[in-house]
Structure 1
Amino acid sequence: MQTHPSSDEASLTQPSIQAGAPARIAATIQPGWVRVTHWLNAFAVVIMVTSGWQVYNASPIFPPLVFPASITLGGWLGGALLWHFAARWLLVANFLAYVVLNIVSGRFRRKLFPLSLKSLIGDVRAALTGKLGHDDLSRYNAVQKAAYLAVILDIVIVILSGLAIWKSVQFPWLRDVMGGYDNARKVHFFAMSFLVAFFVVHVVMVALVPRSLLLMIRGR
């Protein structure tokens, strides 16, 4: 009989107590619900961003900036809105499930805290000099903690600013908080841009540390 680790935080395996059995077994670092919500979120973000670029092109906030048709989704304003609204419900539902499960399970507390300015500065310096280690993928460094907290806050802003644009009359207080309808569009645009930047950096880091991709596919 083998003893399996019960926490997603486990980075070491437990010894077998049965003679002749393997001495170590792989521990699950990323539980199934984390992997499912991660990939659903990535899918929803890709659909929302590419369709959002097509919506933006119909009425540019910054006229010199127009997104090429090859990287937009929907073909025209109406089609883009259909894609955008469909993906919106997936993003909101999936994001809420992710946040609630992380809080209830205590995973946020274990993975993202504590976080100090000193540790963040130290890890940023190590990252810039190529000295930031990635040996233990069960633990996030300070840069990862700050980045994940920032993107979680950013998604909240994306959702709220999108709501202020979509239901401007029904939620006047939200529109006013954003500085008015036109300014809510700018907030939504820059929040989306931050999300895209995070996505690009995230993909680059996965390319540099391929084991992290396997971790998010098989959990270990």
Structure 2
Amino acid sequence: MTAMDAARPPRTRRLHPLPVRILHWINAATMIVMILSGFGIYNDEAILDWVFFPHWLLLGSWAAEHLLWHLAGMWLLVLNGAAYLAYGLISGRFRERFLPISAREVLATVRDTLRLRLSHQDITVYNAVQKLLYIGVILAIIVQVATGLAIWKPVQLAWLTALFGGFQGARLAHFIGMACIVGFLLVHVALALLVPRTILAMVLGGPRIPPQPAE
């Protein structure tokens, strides 16, 4: 190592690179479109008689408009989601941010949360529950796309519809998946508001961290 190399500051990177931030906010906007238009589609043919969404919460004023919004959002969700998955896998971000994870770590994090001992000082590292939730919501969105296609094209994609137990089974799975994603988003937003630095990090990139070992 030369004297110049020793004097050079260590190479760092942002916690959230620009592609991640762009993909994140596009996905956030797209999910809002999908959920609110989906509420309208659900109201047109409810699965549960006691579950009904108020008109002010819907995106669109009538059935055809709900569907148009939903289909427009679907294509953006698929394209943006594919880009996000490709970036996360190829760059190694998923491996770095979500792994390793173990049941023992998850239980320990839950215990610390219940005892109000969970620290939020270091936003550069996810705790075990966060890792589990992020992995879970990624898988849930993939299943949502599959069930959505099964509902949209039950004849052309009969094999896919059959995987979910038929048209009504696909509708039920789609509804349950939506409920899980909405639950995740509510918790995600609540935690972000409790720790505003996480919002700023997703806007500005966050603190600088060392490069990945593979870099």
The two structures share one fold, judged by TM-score above 0.5: yes
Are 1:57 and 2:43 an aligned pair? yes
Q: Deviations over 1:117-147 (max 9, x none)?
A: 0011001111121111122211111011000
In 2, Cα distance between equivalents of 1:188 and 1:203:
22
Amino acid at match of 2:9: T
Gap regions ≥5 residues in structure 2: 1-6, 207-215
Structure 1 length normalisation: TM-score? Answer: 0.88
CA distance in 2, matches of 1:67, 1:180: 25
**Matches of 1:51 and 1:109 in 2, distance apart?**
33
Equivalent in the alignment of 2:26: 40
**Which contiguous aligned blocks of 4+ residues in structure 1 show a shift greater than 2 angstroms?**
1-7
User: Match for residue 74 of structure 1?
Assistant: 60
The CA deviation at 1:6 is: 3.8
How far 1:61 sits from its partner (Å)? 0.8
Aligned to 2:213: none
Distance in 2 of aligned mates of 1:60 and 1:4:
58
Counterparts of 1:4 and 1:54 in 2: how far apart (Å)? 53
The residue that corresponds to 2:11 in the other structure is: 5
Show the counterpart of 2:147.
161
CA RMSD in angstroms, aligned pairs only: 1.2
CA 2–40 in structure 1, closer or farther in 2 if over 3 Å, else same: farther
Alignment correspondent of 1:149: 135
**How far 1:2 sits from its partner (Å)?**
6.4
Structure-2 separation of matches of 1:166 and 1:89: 13
Quote the sequence identity (%): 41
User: What CA distance in whole angstroms lies between the structure 1 residues aligned with 2:69 and 2:10?
Assistant: 43
* TM-score normalized by the length of structure 2: 0.90
* Cα deviation digits, residues 91-140 of structure 1 (max 9, x gap): 11111100110000011111100000001100111112111112221111
Matching residue of 1:12: none
How many residues align? The count is 200
1-side partners of 2:166 and 2:53: how far apart? 25
Q: Distance in 2 between matches of 1:196 and 1:2?
A: 47
Paired position in structure 1 for 2:191: 205
Structure 1 residue 156: Cα displacement: 0.6
Q: Which residue of 1 aligns with 2:209?
A: none
Deviation per residue, 1:150-181 (Å, 9 max, x gap) = 00010011000000000111111111110100
Q: What residue ranges of structure 1 are gaps of 5+ in the alignment? A: 8-27
Give 1:90 shift.
Answer: 0.7
Q: Which amino acid aligns with 1:5?
A: R
